[in-house]
Chains A and B, each alone.
Chain A
């Protein structure tokens, strides 16, 4: 990464050449591999399905498994690329940074003390780099709760004194949150955008290290056509078992998966809405979006604006890049499955709304593919569900076996295809497990396991994560399928209140959120037992977790179990093993903020 301007020029040229030549090859290679795996899976399933005769339900099942299989294979190919792909060195401005950058923190009825604690930690971190004079922090509030808005104003004034940040830390409150987060950012650009070269867009729960921010600015200064530079945020601060599992997945698997994404997407990379540095001029020129005609869910303001913004930047010739090597980028996440599903419901609506912009003029082909990928992230669940329902129903529609076809004196019995079925099952299992297994082996070989508590604990953690994700997958599938159904029908059955500070859930809330899954799982088991006993054991891994869903939600949200796993050294992340000053500073600031002593004068003196 370091070197002279001449080396930078060489790197820049190499990066652009690599992007132009290698990325299309990788895309075609990944597509062909995923397509070949899909054809293999579909033909194997066809063999299994026609064992009891071939009918129209089998055609539907084969189509459904082909769609799901391709999605699964595509994910596995991305992960494989992440293992194989070594990102090239990127150019950076060795003499910089020089550019003025706005750090934007959009907030909407958030935990005020936590928001300002993160700001304080980032501010001090930037101060340590000696480049603070180039950065201004802007808290862009869309808060609708008057009490929280007042608290935000108070916390801002306290932070100004504590940090002596006059002229560096701003707070603005919008009375009407037109256009939500995208409207909030657009409002900033239309008010103050001209003062800055770059803006670092964060979420209310984002935390970024000063060194990382400065490195991003340097990289952007060295690449004048780079419009957006995305980092991979790591999850921190979660204590429940579910939260710690998410944290571990994000820490251990996501970096490699992101390398795969970078390898496939090249200069038409992703924007995940936060923890990304953006060239203000490029964004202002390309990313203004008119509200879509009609009412929500498909009309109105674009909800998941980030994917569309990345596509619009690429459309105008700006590079959108994710640099997986950038560390020091953090966020918090949902502590339990209900919060996760609530967030997913919003994202589902946003992604399904993208069907309206799929035909937008001049979008690059890869941007359209990215939008379709976003759609399939949600449609794959109802596709799986339909496949399961069709598989349950298939024996009822199967033609009666013909034992005497007239060509032989002896009866011809249907040929059970159990071996092929098992081979298919193992194949699907391998697609799910193999990428994770490869990452584990890699970490064991290259010594990375140390950062996750050592070889043994990492291996157990990976197995535990695999088991938990497998058990929770049917629950997740049902939540997502319901979300898709609700978006398509304009319905919303609401969510039980589950706002405890530690993320734990009352059992009643778990029951309210999942009673319909319990019924569906039990009905499927009874149906299979009575009508299609051959399928009973095949269906059990899906139906049993559904029947147990309330208990699973409750147990995985318990902080005590999370603490126990922490104590046992399981699901550790490097940010728990290594002490990170930024995170420690944030926690100290949070404790001080909670005390909220109004002794501003003495704080300023300190």
Chain B
């Protein structure tokens, strides 16, 4: 592992974001450095010691994407078939009380 890769690993661990790739992290660092008005690029910052103030500032202000840790959320059907049929028949036969131009929705 290179020095840069090790440093990126440290940042990932510090943020508790194992899902972030090196490329994503470097892009976020670049963006943070530009936003903060730092003259250094991500590569420059990563080449500096871990305690470097600018590096720490950039890491503390990273605009990261959301964690990618999906959880399944199955959709439940709430209307049983019988009541679905009854409701649809009721709705189709409901009295039409309003003129068409008033029925916006």
Contact = CB atoms under 8 A, between A and B. Distances in A.
A284 B72 contact: yes
A290 B75 contact: yes
B64 A167 contact: yes
Given A294-B91, A297-B105, A604-B36, A138 B66 contact: yes
B70 A190 contact: yes
Contact of B69 (A170, A193, A357): A193
Interface string A115-148: 0000000000000000000001010000000000
B36 A600 contact: yes
Contacts of A165: 60-61
Q: Chain A interface: which size bin?
A: 35 or more
A489 to B, nearest CB: 5
A308 interface: yes
13 contacts: A167-B16, A186-B73, A190-B71, A192-B70, A289-B76, A293-B88, A302-B78, A356-B79, A359-B83, A360-B78, A488-B94, A494-B104, A600-B35
Interface of B: 14-17, 32, 35-37, 57, 59-80, 83-84, 87-88, 91, 94, 96-98, 102-105
A169 to B, nearest CB: 9
Contact of B79 (A138, A192, A357): A357
B52 to A, nearest CB: 15
B48 to A, nearest CB: 17
Contacts of A393: none
Interface in A54-91: none
B61 to A, nearest CB: 5
Nearest to A281: B71
Nearest to B29: A166
Contact of A601 (B37, B69, B72, B104): B37
A312 B87 contact: no
Contacts of B64: 166-167, 170
The residue among B74, B78, B83, B102 with the most chain A CB atoms within 10 A of its own CB is B78
A329 B59 CA distance: 32
Given A161-B36, A289-B78, A166 B69 contact: no
Given A136-B67, A294-B91, A492-B104, 18 more contacts: A138-B66, A157-B35, A161-B36, A166-B64, A167-B15, A170-B66, A172-B66, A190-B72, A190-B73, A192-B67, A193-B69, A194-B69, A194-B71, A290-B75, A292-B78, A361-B80, A491-B97, A604-B36
Given A288-B76, A360-B80, A493-B102, A294 B59 contact: no
A134 to B, nearest CB: 11
B93 to A, nearest CB: 13
Contacts of A161: 35-36, 61
Contacts of A2: none
Contact of B61 (A166, A287, A290): A166
Contacts of A395: none
A359 B79 contact: yes
The 5 closest A-B pairs by CB, nearest first: A193-B71, A166-B62, A194-B69, A167-B15, A164-B60
Given A166-B59, A189-B73, A600-B36, A489 B79 contact: no
B32 A166 contact: yes
Nearest to B69: A194
Contacts of B88: 293-294
Nearest to B60: A164
Nearest to B92: A294
Contacts of A171: 63
A189 B16 CA distance: 18
Interface in A188-240: 188-195
A530 to B, nearest CB: 28
A280 interface: yes
B103 A491 contact: yes
Given A157-B35, A166-B64, A359-B80, A284 B69 contact: no
A554 interface: no
A290 B60 contact: no
Contacts of A170: 64-66
Given A193-B69, A194-B71, A294 B76 contact: no
Interface string A490-510: 111110000000000000000
A296 interface: yes
A194 B78 contact: no
A283 B60 CA distance: 32
A191 B97 CA distance: 44
Contacts of B32: 166
Given A166-B62, A284-B73, A297-B105, A191 B68 contact: yes
Contact of B98 (A138, A194, A289, A489): A489
The residue among B35, B61, B80 with the most chain A CB atoms within 10 A of its own CB is B61
A356 B87 contact: yes
Interface in A148-194: 156-157, 160-161, 164-167, 170-172, 186, 188-194
A367 to B, nearest CB: 12
